[in-house]
Each structure stands twice: as C-alpha cells, then as structure tokens.
Chains A and B, each alone.
Chain A
Amino acid sequence: MGRDVLINRRRFLQSMAAVGVVVACGPTATASPSPSVSASGSPAPKAVSIEWWRRNYAQGTQSAETITSDAAVKAYKDRASNVTIAIQGGPFGAETDQKFDIAILQAHNGPDVFHTTGGDVLKYAAAGQLSQPTLTDAERTDFNPSALKATTYKGTVVAYPLWIVPWFEYINLDLFKEAGVTPPTGGNWTYEEFLAAAKKLTFKRADGKQIYGLAHANDEFAFMLIDGGRPYDSTIKTWTFNSADAVSGLEKWVSLAQQKVMPPDFLTLNPNDSQARFLAGDVAILQRPSAMINILNADAKWKFGTNWDIANFPKAKGDQTAWGGVGFIAVREQSDADKKAAAHAFAKYLTGPDIGPDLKKQTPPVEYWLAPAGRKSAAGIYGDYHPAKAKVATMGAFTYVLPNVSTWSEIDQKYLRPARDAALEGKKTPKQALDEVAPQAQKLLDEANK
C-alpha cells in the first residue's frame, strides 16, 4: 500500500456522498445490489409474493400436477426474480372445491392465481371475484375460439384458457389384428365404420374369454354430439339437447348398446374401470381424454404404433369430431395492484408459449402440457413430447368445448345421465328420454343465466 492511497475520514465521507449522488441521480455501469434500482437504471420490479392454488398439488409427491407446478414456479423465478410464488394444493374433489369457494366467494381472500375448470369460472365471475385478463388482439386470435368462448362471461373473457382436454378413441392394435379389422386410415372413421368395427371386435375367444369392442366411462355423452346436437343454442339461453340431431345422436349410442359391443356393466363403468378394461386387453376401443396417452406410455407393455394407436371420434352428420373440457387459469380480483399484476403475468406465462420450452430445458426435463394447449402458439411443444401427442396435437382444434354453465353438473348428473341411461337400457325411446328432462334442464339453465 502506497502513501497516496491513504485517505482521511473527511475525504472518505466526501467520496461516499459523491457515490450516493451518482447512484441516486444517474445511470451507473455497475449492477446495483439494491432491489430498488435495475441495471438499466429504471426502478427494479418490486418484490411481490403471490399464492397459486392448484388442485392435486401435494408438495413432495410425484403427481403430474405437483411436478409440473414446481417446475413452472422454478422456471418463472428465472424470468421474474422479484416474484415469489407459493403453491397450495388439495385433492380433486368436493372438499377442495369447497375450500376454493369459501376462500374466493366468502372470504374474498386466498389464491391470487388459481387453476379452475368448468362452471366454477362462471360462478366466480358472477360473484365479481375474477380479474379480467387484458388480452391483445394477437393473443385473442391465438386462443382456441371455443376455449375462449367457454371462459366468456357476459361478453367478457374472465380467465385464461390453459388447455383443452379432448376425448379420443384408443385402439388396441393386437385385438384389431386378431379380429381381422383394419384400423381407421389416418385415424378417421365414420360412425358406420366405427359400429362395424366394434361389432367385429366383440367376440369370444376359444378359451371363453369375452372381448368387447368399445368401453367408455359413464360420465360421457360424446355420441349425443355426433349429429350436431348441442346442449344449448348459441346464446346459451335455450336447452336444445332434445333436438332432432341430439335424439339421432343418442339413437346411434343406443345402437351400440343394442349391438352389445360394450361390457354389460357399461352404465356403471367409472373412468378408472374403463381404463382398466382396456389395459387388461378386454376391450378393443377405449374412449378417453388425452391424458390416457401418459398412462399407456408409463406401461412398458404398451408401445405406440405397435400395439396401440389413437383415432378420432367417429364422424356422422356433425362438423366436430371430438369433444372435451377446458382447464383455465384465473386471477382473483383484489385491491393489491402489485399482486394482481404479478398474478396476471404469471397466468399468462402458465398459459403461454414459453413455459413448455422452459420446462423442457430443466434437468430432468419436465413435460408441462398435460393436455393440448388452448392456444396455437403453445400447441407445438405438446406434440414434441411423444409421437402420440404429435398425432393428437392438432386434433384439439376440432374439439367441441362445452360452454360453461354454472348449473351444468346438476343438469348432467341429476337429469341428463339418468335419461340417457333409460334410453340405453331400452326403457325409454331416446326422444322420450330427452324430452322428459328438457323442462328441468331449461329451468336450471335459466337459473344459471339469471
């Protein structure tokens, strides 16, 4: 140390003051450790903590929701280091739904951003508890129109469509071969071709084992859409599921039951049961959502293209070839503008095109999109995960998405399913069954529209 570098206390204080003035008034070439000033000199984003509520998230577990949610938060931290995100979970089911309802609707507190589905979006929107997304025109056209429509409340988009969960036909190629049935070319078939295949695929082996052509879970009604029948009119004000198209769709479904191509307990097959029958090799065609791809991929016995494949829902008079639900990311309305802005930014990230590639870069890589994305710009990455997903990545565009009606689950469970069961059992004609439930369904629809 030379003598010239020594400074006295007065000079030191003068230097510090000068540095302070420079830091406070002008740009600096060095990165500031202060959280209040960014490298570019503009104020750094304020530190914000938000809460994300995600169904089926359970810290430390290996559920898909947990893995993808943790990975998403980690990836977002690299993009917005000022935002701290805490995840809260809860199993799928009534208890968690109630937790959401009590927090959002009663306490007006809880999640800043949350994952939701179905009629919940409208319920929260009607209660004024959703903060509207600010979508640019480009973003608006990027989203699947039917998904965007499903999250529109009184003309306003109230949540970000995350993904569309389309239903497909999973086919057991070994059973097709055994029954001498050619799989549908390009995955497309008409209802008549489908019915003929299902009939041939229903057979008894020499050892007495019965194989069935088709299985689906008892909470589905895809066949009622096949001729263009829809639950509501375009304004979602009139119940139309007893229209001629809906009746003929149900008649096609009843034909499948009459031909006995489904297991005898098809009316009580829950999703897991129907999947189990397919996985056990008892059923040749299984109607399930896109998540079935992961289940088959997780089982070494199943090799895509070798012993299983995916086909579209059979086509009849209707335009659409599939049906499905939509998952949303919603932002809760609140007075804290910083939290709300951070929640919107995070919601956009969760539903946007960047998250897929970000998570793919992690070690180990994480598949974020559990279902085809609800927007075109994010669709590609889903197809990159697996050839089966590449095949269905574009199928989502054809999906009919059930518009959100807050009383839908009541209409469906209490009236529509029993009516449909009565028709499938042959106790009522399809027209009689659907006409009978129309007044109750209309009443509940009116209630939802109040």
Chain B
Amino acid sequence: MATAAPRRRRSLAAALRRYGWSYLFVLPTFSLFVVFTLLPVVQGLVLSLQNARVTGGEFIGLANFETLAADPVFVQAVGNTILYATVVVAAQITLALVVASLIQPLGTQAHVFYRALFYLPLVNSAILVAMVWRWIFNANPFGLANTALGVIGLGPFLWIGSSDQALIAVILSAVLTIPGGGVVLYSAAMGSLPRELYEAADLDGASWFSKWRHITVPLLRPTTLYLLVIYTILAFQLFERVYIMTNGGGPNNATITIVQLIYSTAFQFGRYGLASAMAVVLFVMALGVALVQFRSLRSDVEY
C-alpha cells in the first residue's frame, strides 16, 4: 500500500510525458467549450441569484426562485412544458420504433430510400415547418385540419384560436411529424442486433411480434435511452413551434412554455436575473429527468 501512491504518480507522470502534447489538440475545442458553453452556464447560475437587468444587478439570494414559485404564469409554463414533453417524447419514440421496425425487413435499397425519406424533412427550417402547422391548425374553415375533418362531418374546431385546444394543436403538430432522426438511429441499431438470437427464436417457433417484443425492443434499450434523453431535452426546449404557431403563448397563455417565457422575460422585459432563474429551473428539470431515465433504462447488455 505504501508504494501504491508513488507508483500512481510515476505512471501519471509517464503518461503525461508520453501523451501530454496530445492535450494541445484538445485545447482549441476545450477553449471554445469553456468560453461559449461552460462560462455562460456559470454566468447564468450567478445571474439567477441577482436582480440583474441590463444596467447590472445586486445579489438577492433565492428571491428570483421565490418569485417564480409564486408566479402563476411560470407555473403554467412548467405544466405546459411537462405535458408537451411527456406526450411528444412518448409518441415520437414509439413512432420511431414502429417505423424503423416496419422498414427493417425491406431490402437494402428500400431501406436506404425510406431512411432518407424520413430524415429529409429534418433539413427544413423549423420556422417554415411551424408556419405550415399554423396554417393546418387554423381556426377558420380554410385551415387544412378543419377542411379534412369537415369531409367526415367533424368540426370546425378552433384549434390554435382557443385556449382549450391550442396546446393540443401544438402537441399534435409534433406527434404527427415522423421523427426522422429516431427512425435512422433505431434502424441502424436494429441492423447490428445479433442474428443468432432471432435464429434461436425461429427454432422455438416465435412469431414476428414475439421476436420484436422479446428480442428487438429489449436490445434497443441503449438507443431508446439515448433518444429518450435527447428528445426530452429537445421537448423541454420547445420554443419556435409555440412562438410561430400561437404567437408566443396562445390565447390566455395556453401554450406558454418555459423557454418562451425565458425569451420574453430576458429580451422583452429585460429581467436577466429572473430569466436566468427560469433557465436554472429548466436545467434542473432536464437533469433530474435524465438521471431518472438513466437509472430506469440503463442496460448492461452488450452486443
């Protein structure tokens, strides 16, 4: 034991002698990370404890967080964000898994075609996509959703024109979009699953659904975990869809989200401290959910 520490020091020194120069290659990226990511996060934390405005601010402890707890608009924004994230993430992951499973048995060319087909819409501007959804869920009879539902005798609905339906319209706009990234990732992961498990299942007479349920889905847990975390963070960051579809909050703040409120609080009301406190709350929410997801879905399976 007495010799363990000096040995560790010697091996560290040897490693630094041998690989030390390689840190130079990491330095540019690390510097950018520190300047543009780490420092703003730290600054955000500091600002959240101040009554910061553009002219500066003073330390006020946790007063910003107390203000947020008593602010009905912020509470509504948190509720809307959680509801949106829960429904949309669950729907997108399910949809991505189902679509990837459906295209998996197809031939290579069809495979490539469908992957590209589902992924291509992602290159569209999010703003343009949101504008199209705004038109689809327009409250007027000329809105596409109302026109389509009118054919089967339903509606017209107020959609984004009503505080009861606006958030539903925003959620539907996300749910009805096939998550191309998820389809590609699931598809790639399915391609690398060990064939022998399926062959063994075939010998046991397992049906297609049984194989999917008991082999494919469990083995995809690492991919599912990754998508779950990424999609949850993206859903928590919902902004442009709400901003464009419902003019940034909708009737009676029906679609207000945390990021929308951060934007208006910082850049329209000039309350940087309060906006930073909201960002901290959002960060803690995302971190908490990610930790729960990691704990519940982590898998020791390697293949």
Contact = CB atoms under 8 A, between A and B. Distances in A.
B247 A265 contact: no
A425 B251 contact: yes
B247 A97 contact: no
Contacts of B140: 210, 263-265
A255 interface: no
Contacts of B139: 263-265, 268
A410 B166 CA distance: 22
Nearest to A208: B141
Interface string B142-167: 00000000000000101011110010
A171 B256 CA distance: 34
8 contacts: A101-B270, A105-B54, A106-B54, A123-B270, A218-B247, A410-B269, A413-B268, A421-B163
A106 B73 CA distance: 30
Contacts of B252: 418, 421-422, 425, 427
A94 B268 CA distance: 6
B80 to A, nearest CB: 13
A407 interface: yes
B250 A268 contact: yes
Interface in B27-65: 54-56
Interface string B232-258: 000000000000001101111100000
A97 B272 CA distance: 14
Contacts of A6: none
Contact of A268 (B161, B253, B263): B161
A302 interface: no
**Among all A-B residue pairs, the 3 with the closest Cβ atoms:** A94-B267, A265-B139, A265-B161
A414 B73 contact: yes
A134 interface: no
A264 B161 contact: yes
A414 B74 CA distance: 10
B160 to A, nearest CB: 5
Contact of B246 (A263, A268, A422): A268
A270 interface: yes
Contact of B163 (A106, A127, A415, A425): A425
Contacts of B224: none
Given A210-B141, A265-B139, A270 B247 contact: yes
Given A106-B55, A422-B252, 8 more contacts: A94-B268, A101-B270, A106-B54, A127-B55, A264-B156, A268-B251, A407-B269, A415-B73
Would you call the interface of chain B mostly helix, strand, loop, or mixed? Answer: loop
A279 interface: no
Contacts of A410: 268-269, 271
B264 interface: yes
B250 to A, nearest CB: 7
B54 A268 contact: no
A432 interface: no
A414 B77 CA distance: 11
A265 B54 CA distance: 36
Interface in A135-174: none
Contacts of B253: 418, 421
A119 to B, nearest CB: 9
A338 to B, nearest CB: 27
A413 B264 contact: yes
Contact of B269 (A95, A210, A409, A421): A409
Contacts, number: 79
B187 interface: no
A102 interface: yes
B138 interface: yes
Bin the interface of chain B by size: 20 to 34
Interface string A399-421: 00000000101100111001001
B47 to A, nearest CB: 14
Interface in B79-99: none
Interface string A87-100: 00000001101100
Contacts of A191: none
Most buried by B among A267, A421, A425: A267
Interface in B246-303: 246-247, 249-253, 263-264, 267-271
A146 B218 CA distance: 70
Contacts of B56: 106
B158 A264 contact: yes
Nearest to A408: B269
B142 to A, nearest CB: 9
A95 B263 CA distance: 11
A267 B161 contact: yes
B126 to A, nearest CB: 18
A220 B134 CA distance: 21
Contacts of A267: 161-163, 250-251
Interface in B93-141: 138-141
A427 B55 CA distance: 40
Contacts of B141: 210
A102 B55 CA distance: 8
A266 B138 CA distance: 11
A25 B167 CA distance: 81
Contacts of A422: 163, 252
Interface in A315-367: none
Contacts of B269: 407, 409-410, 413-414
A265 B166 CA distance: 11
A97 B158 contact: no
A406 to B, nearest CB: 8
Interface in B144-200: 156, 158, 160-163, 166
Nearest to A101: B54
Interface in B8-23: none
B163 A427 contact: yes
Contacts of A263: 139-140
Nearest to B74: A414
B267 A97 contact: yes
Interface string A218-259: 100000000000000000000000000000000000000000
Interface string A77-116: 0000000000000000011011001100110000000000
A105 B253 CA distance: 31
Contacts of A268: 139, 160-161, 166, 246-247, 250-251
Contacts of B158: 264-265
A105 B160 CA distance: 39
Interface in A258-297: 263-268, 270
A98 B163 contact: no
Given A267-B251, A268-B247, A427-B252, A102 B267 contact: no
Contacts of B263: 94
Interface in A410-450: 410, 413-415, 418, 421-422, 425, 427
Contacts of B163: 267, 421-422, 425, 427
Contacts of A265: 138-140, 158, 160-161
